């Protein structure tokens, strides 16, 4: 009945919207009349600054108002909390030193901010921003029905950070249709998926997404192949953004106000309220410089009777920010190297983030990649627009490209001896699921403990543990007899469910991984780098093991051959062969992969020494046909 009522009440069902939940700003878009649009109520920019202000004894203020209050009362205005989503206190120690509000760990081991005696997690704060975003959407659409949304996250967000984002949406009463990567959304907004499909380039279409926001810089290298988006590499700096450019102007103002003009004492200059006012004045000047050759740096502080202004030319500004901008290129270089590409391999370059409005940033990116980047859409709106396109596709809208994201790290579990068994491989398109068979290693073992790990390394201790669970109630059986099916199921939002089922009893155990602690960006990067570095040693280890097995086979063949053919060989040849065989036996017990080359030489010498024996074992016809072949080849 409720269903019928709903149908009657809503002639036009609430659409699925796309939400860019940003570090600095959040906004919402929907798809209508064949294109996505930012939802802006009349007289409103649509942008909700991702900030919350806690006034004494009042309801918290969210968005623009919170940002303004941050000037007068910095300790009670919280912003940049996206950096702390799904993280533990230890992991974000360096981030915390850069924010003016006190943080602690709550009972679940996640970061919480203590404001006026109450603790707020990043999820709760994000939920408040999302509620404001939903209100903006409702205002623009003219309906305040609960929203369903596609929400974007940075490509490097791990499972915990994505899970925290979902929690935030749930707290805000928003149903998450899907979580997608910000660079993927930006590419969708430019229709690069359709362009790639039309051009059908061999090996796919590569895209570099350069995202320079308020407090973070990210570069992602994507590949679109057969309609699937893959993240080839991500790089960036979580402490590099528009804020740094503001700071350059704050420093300029401070040095003149304190040293040159003596308007500010060192003590006043350190006051957080003064700092915030300077920061806002600097940001305003920075934005003016984007559109004008000269910007005005105007700092008023009535309490100190300061009303100071100074012109900044674009040339002067560009010189001041050069070092900051160059740091983004270092990240681009690393990302390209990780993707095994060079700048000229990139088919499309997309600019994202408010800071890419700055002309010198655009010039720099253009000269680095040797092509004009996409700037047709507003860079601070492009992610929300793309999310709206994805929402439209999910709602059954026409667009014939299948969109998928991929998992950035392999998922698997620890097996005997501390090795890992990868169940879902890195870069698998999601959603996906895979089942592996496992068994016991001791007689009458009644339970199996599972350790779910994430990462590329061969040993579980080198990977990241996502959680443990235990399957119990296995009936007494000899080791190796019980059959346990372990299913890994990764949903479209990157949430992992692992189910273990013992076949005879049907006993089940399950874990949904929503880890409290998660990786820092550096760690995620480090894990991938490590796996690349280890690829060589892993390769050598398996090569070494292969050689040892090969020596065993050669020894068996030689021993067999000598029993029948030794009377046809002279004593010296037999001595040489036996010497080589002894060297092979000695080498077989070596366990040191570092001696790979030495073992290779022993194998080669052994092979040579077997040639005369191989020769006498062949008949005269085969002899000429097979000369030069070793004993093993016969």
Shortest distance, position 218 Cβ to Mg ion, whole Å: 8
Instruction: Take residue 297 and report the two structure tokens written for it.
Output: 């740096």
Nearest-Å Rg of the Cα atoms of the chain is 31
Question: Between residues 83 and 457, which has the closer beta carbon with respect to ligand ADP?
Answer: 83
Q: What sign does the dihedral 341-343-347-353 (CA atoms) show? A: positive
Judge if the upstream peptide bond of residue 159 is cis by omega within 30 degrees of 0: no
Shortest distance, position 22 Cβ to Mg ion, whole Å: 4
Shortest distance, position 219 Cβ to Mg ion, whole Å: 13
Q: Rounded to an integer, what distance in angstroms lies between the CA atom of residue 455 and that of residue 450? A: 16
- What dihedral do alpha carbons 340, 345, 351, 352 form, nearest 10°? -30
Shortest distance, position 97 Cβ to Mg ion, whole Å: 23
Strand-pair category, 148-153 with 175-181? parallel
Residue 24 interacting entry, from Mg ion, ligand ADP, none, C-beta within 5 to 8 Å by type:
ligand ADP
Question: Between residues 350 and 448, which has the closer beta carbon with respect to Mg ion?
Answer: 350
Q: Report CA 575 to chain centroid distance, whole Å.
A: 60
Query: DSSP per residue over 496-516, as a string?
Result: EEEEEEETTT--EEEEEE--S
Q: Rounded to an integer, what distance in angstroms lies between the CA atom of residue 152 and that of residue 229? A: 15
User: Exposure of 267 by Cβ count < 10 A (0-12 exposed, 13-18 middle, 19+ buried)?
Assistant: exposed
Catalytically annotated residue among 20, 95, 124, 521 = 20
| Strand boundaries in 11-158, DSSP class E | 16-21, 25-32, 35-38, 48-49, 51-53, 61-62, 77-79, 103-105, 111-115, 118-120, 148-153
Q: Does 482 bind Mg ion (CB under 5 A)?
A: no
596-617 and 571-588 helices cross at what angle (nearest 10)?
140
Shortest distance, position 329 Cβ to ligand ADP, whole Å: 18
Question: Between residues 252 and 463, which has the closer beta carbon with respect to ligand ADP?
Answer: 252
Shortest distance, position 359 Cβ to Mg ion, whole Å: 20
- Residue corresponding to tokens 């870069």: 427
Shortest distance, position 59 Cβ to Mg ion, whole Å: 27
Among positions 122, 183, 213, 386, the unique one binding Mg ion when judged by CB under 5 A: 213
Catalytically annotated residue among 124, 159, 167, 211 = 211
Question: Contact residues for ligand ADP (CB under 6 A)?
Answer: 22-25, 213-216, 241-243, 283, 286-287, 290, 353-355, 357-358, 380
Q: What sign does the dihedral 75-79-80-85 (CA atoms) show? A: positive
User: Exposure of 633 by Cβ count < 10 A (0-12 exposed, 13-18 middle, 19+ buried)?
Assistant: exposed
- C-alpha closest to that of 238 among 530, 465, 519: 519
Give the count of alpha carbons within 13 A of 133, CB side only: 36
Shortest distance, position 536 Cβ to Mg ion, whole Å: 36
Shortest distance, position 383 Cβ to Mg ion, whole Å: 6
Catalytically annotated residue among 124, 158, 182, 405 = 182
Question: Between residues 283 and 491, which has the closer beta carbon with respect to ligand ADP?
Answer: 283
Question: Between residues 74 and 213, which has the closer beta carbon with respect to ligand ADP?
Answer: 213
The 8 Å CB, 24+ separation contacts for 524-532 are: 524/156, 524/158, 524/408, 524/409, 525/156, 525/234, 525/235, 527/409, 527/455, 527/456, 527/457, 527/463, 527/464, 528/338, 528/409, 528/456, 530/456, 530/457, 530/462, 531/455, 531/456, 531/457
Q: Does 22 bind Mg ion (CB under 5 A)?
A: yes
Number of H helices, E strands in the chain: 17, 28
Residue 355 interacting entry, from Mg ion, ligand ADP, none, C-beta within 5 to 8 Å by type:
ligand ADP
Q: Rounded to an integer, what distance in angstroms lies between the CA atom of residue 494 and that of residue 427? A: 12
Contacts of 297 (CB under 8 A, 6+ apart): 249, 252, 253, 281, 282, 285, 309, 310, 311, 312
Annotated catalytic residue 82? yes
Residue 287 interacting entry, from Mg ion, ligand ADP, none, C-beta within 5 to 8 Å by type:
ligand ADP
Contacts of 212 (CB under 8 A, 6+ apart): 241, 242, 328, 351, 352, 353, 354, 355, 356, 361
Question: Between residues 353 and 565, which has the closer beta carbon with respect to ligand ADP?
Answer: 353
Question: Between residues 23 and 390, which has the closer beta carbon with respect to ligand ADP?
Answer: 23
Q: Rounded to an integer, what distance in angstroms lies between the CA atom of residue 566 and that of residue 573? A: 9
Q: Give yes or no for a contact between 156 and 184, defined as CB atoms under 8 angstroms apart.
A: no
DSSP state of 260: I
Q: Does 354 bind Mg ion (CB under 5 A)?
A: no
Annotated catalytic residue 182? yes
Shortest distance, position 354 Cβ to ligand ADP, whole Å: 2
Question: Between residues 263 and 287, which has the closer beta carbon with respect to ligand ADP?
Answer: 287
Catalytically annotated residue among 82, 124, 246, 286 = 82
Question: Between residues 360 and 465, which has the closer beta carbon with respect to ligand ADP?
Answer: 360
- Selected range binding Mg ion among 161-169, 207-215, 260-268, 326-334, rule: CB under 5 A: 207-215
Question: Between residues 46 and 295, which has the closer beta carbon with respect to Mg ion?
Answer: 46
Annotated catalytic residue 633? no
Annotated catalytic residue 491? no
The residues assigned a catalytic role are: 20, 82, 182, 211
State the residues that interact with Mg ion by CB under 5 A.
Answer: 22, 213
């Amino acid at each position: 009945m409720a269903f019928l009522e709903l149908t009657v009440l809503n002639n036009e069902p609430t659409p699925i919207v796309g939400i860019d939940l940003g570090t600095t700003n959040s906004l919402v878009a929907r798809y209508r009349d064949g294109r996505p649009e930012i939802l802006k109520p009349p007289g409103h920019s649509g942008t909700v600054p991702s900030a919350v202000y806690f006034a004494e004894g009042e309801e918290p203020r969210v968005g623009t108002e919170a940002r303004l209050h941050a000037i007068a009362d910095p300790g009670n205005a919280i912003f940049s909390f996206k950096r702390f989503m799904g993280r533990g206190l230890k992991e974000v120690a360096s981030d915390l030193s850069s924010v003016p509000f006190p943080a602690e760990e709550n009972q679940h081991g996640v970061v919480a901010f203590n404001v006026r005696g109450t603790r707020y997690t990043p999820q709760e704060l994000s939920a408040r921003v999302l509620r404001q975003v939903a209100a903006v959407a409702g205002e623009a659409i003219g309906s305040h029905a609960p929203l369903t949304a596609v929400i974007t996250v940075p490509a490097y967000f791990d499972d915990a950070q994505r899970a925290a984002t979902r929690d935030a949406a749930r707290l805000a009463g928003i149903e998450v249709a899907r979580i997608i990567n910000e660079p993927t959304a930006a590419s969708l907004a430019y229709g690069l998926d359709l362009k790639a499909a039309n051009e059908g380039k061999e090996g796919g279409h590569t895209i570099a997404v350069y995202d320079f926001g308020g407090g973070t810089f990210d570069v992602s290298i994507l590949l679109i192949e057969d309609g699937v988006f893959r993240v080839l590499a991500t790089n960036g700096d979580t402490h590099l953004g528009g804020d740094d450019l503001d700071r350059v102007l704050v420093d300029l103002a401070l040095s003149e106000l304190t040293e040159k003009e003596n308007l500010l004492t060192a003590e006043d200059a350190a006051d957080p309220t003064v700092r915030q006012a300077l920061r806002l004045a600097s940001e305003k000047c920075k934005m003016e410089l984007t559109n004008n050759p000269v910007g005005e740096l105007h700092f008023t502080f009535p309490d100190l009777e300061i009303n100071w202004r100074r012109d900044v030319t674009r040339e002067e500004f560009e010189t001041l920010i050069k070092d900051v901008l160059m740091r983004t290129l270092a990240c681009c270089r690393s990302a390209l190297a990780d993707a095994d590409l060079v700048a000229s391999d990139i088919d499309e370059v997309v600019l994202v983030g408010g800071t890419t409005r700055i002309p010198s940033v655009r010039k720099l990116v253009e000269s680095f990649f040797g092509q004009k980047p996409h700037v047709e859409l507003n860079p601070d709106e492009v992610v929300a627009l793309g999310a709206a396109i994805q929402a439209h596709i999910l709602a059954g809208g026409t667009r014939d490209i299948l969109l998928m994201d991929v998992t950035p790290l392999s998922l698997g579990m620890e097996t005997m001896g501390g090795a890992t068994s990868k169940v879902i491989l890195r870069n698998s398109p999601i959603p996906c699921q895979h089942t592996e068979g496992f068994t016991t290693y001791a007689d009458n073992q009644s339970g199996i403990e599972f350790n779910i790990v994430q990462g590329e390394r061969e040993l579980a201790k080198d990977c990241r543990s996502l959680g443990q669970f235990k399957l119990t109630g296995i009936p007494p059986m000899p080791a190796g007899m019980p059959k346990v099916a372990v299913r890994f199921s990764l949903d479209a939002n990157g949430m992992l469910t692992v189910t273990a089922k013992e076949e005879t009893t049907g006993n089940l155990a399950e874990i949904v991984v929503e880890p409290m602690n998660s990786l820092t960006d550096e760690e995620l990067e480090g894990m991938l780098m490590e796996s690349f570095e280890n690829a060589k040693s892993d390769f050598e280890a398996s090569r070494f093991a292969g050689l040892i097995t090969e020596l065993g086979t050669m020894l068996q063949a030689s021993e067999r051959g000598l029993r029948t053919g030794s009377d046809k060989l002279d004593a010296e040849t037999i001595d040489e062969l036996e010497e080589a065989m002894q060297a092979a036996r000695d080498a077989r017990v070596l366990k040191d992969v570092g001696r790979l080359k030495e073992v290779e030489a022993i194998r080669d010498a052994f092979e040579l020494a077997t040639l005369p024996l191989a020769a006498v074992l062949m008949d005269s016809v085969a002899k000429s046909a097979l000369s030069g072949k070793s004993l093993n080849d016969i």
